[in-house]
Chain A
Amino acid sequence: MAEAHPVGFQWVMEAKKRGATVIHVDPRFTRTSAVADLHVPIRAGTDIAFLGGLIRHVLETGAYFEDYVRAYTNGPMLLRGDFADTEDLDGLFSGFDPETATYDTETWQYEGATAPSAAGDRDLDVHETERGEMPGSGGAPIAADPERDDTMQDPRCVLQVLRRHYSRYTPEKVHEICGIPVATFHRVAEALVRNSGRERTSAFAYAVGWTHHTVGVQYIRAAAVLQALLGNIGRPGGGILALRGHASIQGSTDIPTLFDLLPGYIPMPHAHRDEGLQHFIESNAGTKGFWADLDAYVVSLLKAWFGDAATADNDFCFDHLPRLTGDHSSFRTVMDQADGKVPGYFVVGENPAVGTANARMQRHGLASLEWLVVRDLNMVETATFWKDGPEIETGEMRTEDIGTEIFFLPAAAHTEKDGTFTNTQRLLQWHHKAVEPPGDCRSDLWFYFELGKRIKARVAGSDDPRDRPLQDLTWDYPVDATGEPSADAVLREINGVDADGKALPGYTALRSDGSTSSGCWIYCGVYADEVNQSARRRPGAEQDLIAAEWGWAWPMNRRVLYNRASADPVGRPWSERKRLTYWDGEKWAGPDVPDFPADTPPDYVPPPGAHAAKAIGGAEPFVMQSDGRAWLHAPAGLADGPMPTHYEPEESPVGNALYGQRANPARQRFERADNHYHPEPGTPGAEVYPYVFTTFRVTEHHTAGGMSRWTPHLNELQPEMFLEVSPELAAERGLTHGGWAHVVTARSAVEGRVLVTERAKPLRHGDTVIHQIGVPWHWGPNGLSTGDAANELLGVSLDPNVHIMETKAATCDIRPGRRPRGPELVTCLADRRRQAGLEEEPR
């Protein structure tokens, strides 16, 4: 966190100054480790084993917050009798189909309740990789009240199932799998337990070290389970904080750049299943909680986009929305490009030619396009691969053979335009333009506004029905003297207006009758009272702990989600020390905006047939969940299991010490000639790639370097690609500090300067010594500071829920000296693959 989020890390240091214990779990000893009270080195890709060990510790020692667990989690819910755990099936849950490598989640359900895959008229086959997207952020709607046992003793209740699931995640097993000494594990477990409960809370912060795995979603789930058991959710000082990879990545999932979501986590309609608005709403809205008002959110979105053209008679132009036909995620699309199926591509503020896993495959995709638009601050590799990319050097591509027409458009930086950043705590903060963009650089807002104007002009006279969405699109933003559209006006449109054109106060004011509009329902309220609430900057020192007048947080300026959970079931704070939101006899009070119907008393029991907010019981804090509870066991919504389970990464040097099933059985693999995977551990050829590598960032650079490699003041601070190795590995492979070495995988080889450091420490796995190599991924061939891109090394294997790639753990070899160059690289890699049995001998 200190490495990649140094500004946010100030609050960790502030907490440390006030006595907080900071524990850092990371395969590498980083700047964060340097100031932490305890650094826990871990083998890359084994965090679920570690977190599972902590869950087991909490359950077996009775350290969980029992009142909280009983009332606020699904711990008491009974599961179906035909549910089978990984303990029963050696690493698989019930419902797995080895043919398709997908789960039928039917048996994961509560006893006596049904979930979405069985609901509605979804008669069409649902590709299992889409399952994760279907429920949006709200979790799957659950019909009916499940059976439960509030003593939590029934062997079929979630808590007991959980206990059994993690029964073998002992400290010794954690040591064996993760390389964490038993004493260190106990230190962590004790510190965590000591600092959780009624009087104290602990927080988890994670970044892509947890998400970039074939089982990444389950990493986060494991933390969620642990935090729910300890009562650390919805309470001040608790929670799980997702540290995002870029400024406003949170914003770009809220108002998404993801193929399967509409703004505000509304699912993208499916081409065949969601034929009309009514049908879409019925199959995606819950009956209980705030998702039950999905119709109001969708209709308001359509009104924002299509204005007067959207009427009740035409389903508010619901048919204008694009439709999913399957997986259109990034990697699927790139493979389709490489296979010649995709003609055009917009790359905006990204640099896949060096910034995305299996960069060679990415470039092959780019080279197979008809046209490519690149908008960036600098001439990034994605715009220049055709003339000086690695394949030109190796002879695999020739410039004259590449037919892609590339348009490079210089972009304005965030300091050169107005707009908002949405940070990890959902806080929108307005930034003002400080300087005019230089030369031809223009903001993204300007670009899309102008592009839209031109496209609309081109289709203005068309009577082709497919042009109707473009014709109906509202596209009328005020511009300033330079032609720059007003970002403020866009924010106001996102907030939404009522029938009189007045800014709405919040999403509860949204209606499904077409009288309101809102570009993103969760952002509704950011322009309440006709004020840009995100631009508020009242200093924290002038405010209380919540600091509600600094920026604006969605939803409704709530700073702590599920804060109803900070009070006990009858509405009293769990403790005075950790008081936040509580029932004052008439309403929910406290410094934060209650994440709960403000006047629903704690003893409220919804009448049968109650809908939406009225269906939320007075003691059900998890208002976005269809049962109002935090899920220790997820009965639906996940593609790879209801409870997090330790699986090895796609590539690891050792087998799974817990189950016969080695890796996530539902992970997405792509067996292609341009995407070789290494042999499984213990099989012939695995020894060709004996070491683990993990990619990482340093403070001095940003992502793949598109912003930082052109900045002299940053480049002098971290001027060259390097490889972090332990003294032990350096001795084993003859690597010299400061000299060259190259890392080899089946995909490629990259070189860098050797940084021998005692911060890198080999781990023991039984009798095996496991060496981990740190590979920063900031470099590429362009810019002031150049070097090989770490993404050349990685293959593509994905988490089945969110299609994220595994970049944080893979296997490799490392050799002293520079890598082979030119055509020699190709033959050398092929030789190594043949050695590993991954490729046939040439005929």
Chain B
Amino acid sequence: MSAPEHRTAAGTPRTRRRGKGRGERLMVPEAEFTSYYGRPIIKPPVWKVPDVPAYLYLGGLAGVSAPLAALADLTGRPGLRRVGRVAAAGGATLSVGFLVHDLGRPERFLHMLRVLKVTSPLSVGSWILAPFGALSGATAVAEVLGVTPRLARASGLAAGALGPALTTYTAVLVADTAVPAWHEGFRELPFVFAGSAMASGGGAGLLARGDVTPARRVAVAGAVLELAATSVLERRIGFAAKAYRSGRAGAVLTGARVGTVVGALGALASGFVRGRPGRVLGAAAGLLLNAASAATRYGIFEAGMASARDPEYTVRPQRERLEARRAEDHPAGSDR
């Protein structure tokens, strides 16, 4: 028998009284929470690590790198263009690779393009990712081989136009589930993802030679956006916020936040340091921002998984909602 320790014995569905602090005795206990032997109510996603967190991160990196590269191309910043194009294509390709690898039936990947369903963020995303991948890939090939710069510019612009959508559809992808930590944050997650993507895409740009000012601005703005959006999310989504603060997700996200802050400060500082030290500092900051962005995605992924595994995340908000509705329908004193 491999019963998890929280699972109780026959005949005693788990009830948990939850106070605010641990060990603190409450005069009036909060609403009781009951479950079926502590088993999850919803099924935790079967998505694998690192596949899906990597897919989320890489999509963001590629989605920001492509417009960065396109505009760098237009504004004559070849270094930034080159890095951006490679990052966009590499990110998109790897992202697709992780996505396919995560499928239960990878050989059926093309079924993703069998229909276009606006009700399915993954379908919409596939239809964004597929052309983006093709366009950014072609652009990067041209870049690396140094051929057909005009075509590359055109395809790069097209990829750049698709890029921003690539950075945020993944937020809808995770939010459009019954996973409490994700669904409850559906308003903020696109901004978190957008910020995280900008931090990583901008950060990647900091690796380029030449003028990387736009990348630095994007990276810092992204970091600010991500931190702000995350903060709003955690304040707004109520009980589910606990999933972002506790356990492995909490630890990872804390680390990610530190990385983001330090990375952003580093990026900012690198703008004031001339020459090679400035470039090295910028590159280091860019790498840190990317690591932080990947960690953010993984942390959000883990928060969702944790909230799916613990039935309290599902039951408690629903129970409270139900009781509130009942109270509204039947003001105090009246029976159900």
A residues with CB within 8 A of B: 737-738, 753, 755-759
In the complex, which residue of chain B has the Cβ closest to the Cβ of A755? B10
10 new A-B pairs (CB below 8 Å) besides A755-B10, A758-B11? Answer: A737-B9, A737-B10, A738-B1, A738-B9, A753-B1, A756-B9, A756-B11, A757-B9, A757-B10, A759-B11
Contact present for A738 and B3 (CB under 8 Å): yes
Interface of A is mostly: loop
Q: Are A756 and B1 in contact (CB under 8 A)?
A: no
Q: State which size class the interface on B falls in.
A: under 10
B residues in contact with A737, CB < 8 Å: 9-10
7 closest cross-chain pairs (CB), A and B: A737-B9, A757-B10, A758-B11, A738-B1, A757-B11, A756-B9, A755-B10
B contact residues around A753 at 8 Å (CB): 1
Q: How many whole Å from A66's CB to the nearest CB in chain B? A: 47
- Cross-chain pairs A/B with CB under 8 angstroms, 15 sampled: A737-B9, A737-B10, A738-B1, A738-B3, A738-B9, A753-B1, A755-B10, A756-B9, A756-B10, A756-B11, A757-B9, A757-B10, A757-B11, A758-B11, A759-B11
Nearest residue (CB) in A for B9 is A737
Q: How far is the CB of A773 from chain B (nearest CB, A)?
A: 15
Taking the closest CB of chain B, its distance from the CB of A728, in whole angstroms, is 13
Collect the chain A residues with CB atoms within 8 Å of residue B3's CB: 738
User: Considering only CB atoms, which chain B residue lies closest to A724 in the complex?
Assistant: B10
CA of A738 to CA of B2 in the docked complex: distance in angstroms? 9
Closest to A722 in B: B10
Contact indicator per residue, chain B 1-18, by CB within 8 Å of chain A (1) or not (0): 101000001110000000
The residues of A that contact B9 with a CB separation of less than 8 Å are 737-738, 756-757
Residues of B within 8 A of A758 (CB): 11
Tell me the complex Cα distance, A755–B8, Å: 12
- Nearest CB of chain B from residue A561's CB, rounded to whole Å: 42
| B1, B3, B10, B11 — most chain A CB neighbours (10 Å) | B10
Could you say which residues of chain A place their CB within 8 Å of the CB of B1? 738, 753
**Which residues of chain A come closer than 8 Å to B10, judged between CB atoms?**
737, 755-757
A753 to B2, CA, bound (A): 13
A757–B12 Cα gap in the complex (Å)? 9
Complex CA distance for A758 and B9, rounded to whole angstroms: 10
When distances are taken between beta carbons in the complex, the residues of chain B under 8 Å from A759 are: 11
Chain A minimum-CB-distance residue to B12: A758
A736 to chain B, nearest CB (A): 9
Give the distance to chain A from B7, nearest Cβ to Cβ, in Å: 9
In B1-41, the 8 Å CB interface with A consists of 1, 3, 9-11
Shortest distance between the CB of B205 and any CB in chain A (Å): 56
Assembled-state Cα–Cα distance A214/B11 (Å): 34
* A760 CB → nearest B CB, Å: 10
CA distance A382 to B48 in the complex (A): 48
CA separation between A347 and B20, bound complex, in Å?
67
CA distance A753 to B1 in the complex (A): 9
For the complex, give the distance between the alpha carbons of A757 and B11 in Å: 6
Give Cα A759–Cα B1 distance, bound, in whole angstroms.
22
Residue of B nearest to A759 (CB): B11
Chain B contacts of A738 at CB under 8 A? 1, 3, 9
> What is the minimal beta-carbon distance from B14 to any residue of chain A, in angstroms?
13
- Nearest chain-A residue to B7 (Cβ)? A738
Query: In this complex, what residue of A is CB-closest to B8?
Result: A737
A738 and B8 alpha carbons, distance in the complex (Å): 10
A753 to B9, CA, bound (A): 12
How distant is A753 from chain B, measured CB to nearest CB, in Å? 7
- Closest Cβ–Cβ distance, residue A155 to chain B (whole Å): 53
- Whole-angstrom distance between the Cβ of A786 and the nearest chain B Cβ: 15
Residue of B nearest to A753 (CB): B1
Bound Cα distance A753, B11 (Å): 16
A758 to B8, CA, bound (A): 13
**Who on chain B is nearest to A756 by CB?**
B9
8 A Cβ contacts from B243-275 to A: none
In the complex, the chain A residue whose C-beta lies closest to that of B1 is A738
Task: List B contacts of A757 (CB < 8 A).
Answer: 9-11
Distance in angstroms between the alpha carbons of A738 and B11 in the assembled complex: 13
Distance (whole angstroms) from the CB of B218 to the closest CB of chain A: 55
Residue of A nearest to B2 (CB): A738
Compute how far the CA of A73 lies from the CA of B3 in the bound complex, rounded to whole angstroms: 59
Chain B nearest Cβ from A737, distance in angstroms: 4
Nearest-CB distance from B305 to chain A (Å)? Answer: 26
Which residue of chain B lies nearest to A730 when distances are taken between CB atoms in the complex?
B9
**Minimal beta-carbon separation of A739 from chain B (angstroms):** 8
Query: In the complex, which residues of chain A have a beta carbon less than 8 angstroms from the beta carbon of B11?
Result: 756-759
Return B8 CB to nearest CB of chain A, in Å: 8
Min CB distance A604 to B, Å, is 61
Residues from chain B with Cβ under 8 Å of A755 in the complex: 10
The answer for the CA separation of A755 and B3 in the assembled complex, in Å, is: 13
Name B45-96 residues within 8 Å CB distance of A.
none
Cα A555 to Cα B1 in complex, Å, equals 52
Task: Give the distance in Å from the alpha carbon of A738 to the alpha carbon of B7 in the complex.
Answer: 11
B214 → chain A closest CB, angstroms: 60
* Nearest chain B CB to A7 CB, angstrom units: 26
- Contact partners of A756 in chain B: CB under 8 A: 9-11
How far, in Å, is A493 (CB) from chain B's closest CB?
Answer: 53
Chain A nearest CB from B173 CB (Å) reads 35
User: How far is it, in angstroms, between the C-alpha of A759 and the C-alpha of B11 when the chains are bound?
Assistant: 8
Q: Chain B: which residue is nearest A758 at the CB level?
A: B11
Q: How many angstroms between the C-alpha atoms of A759 and B3 in the bound complex?
A: 21
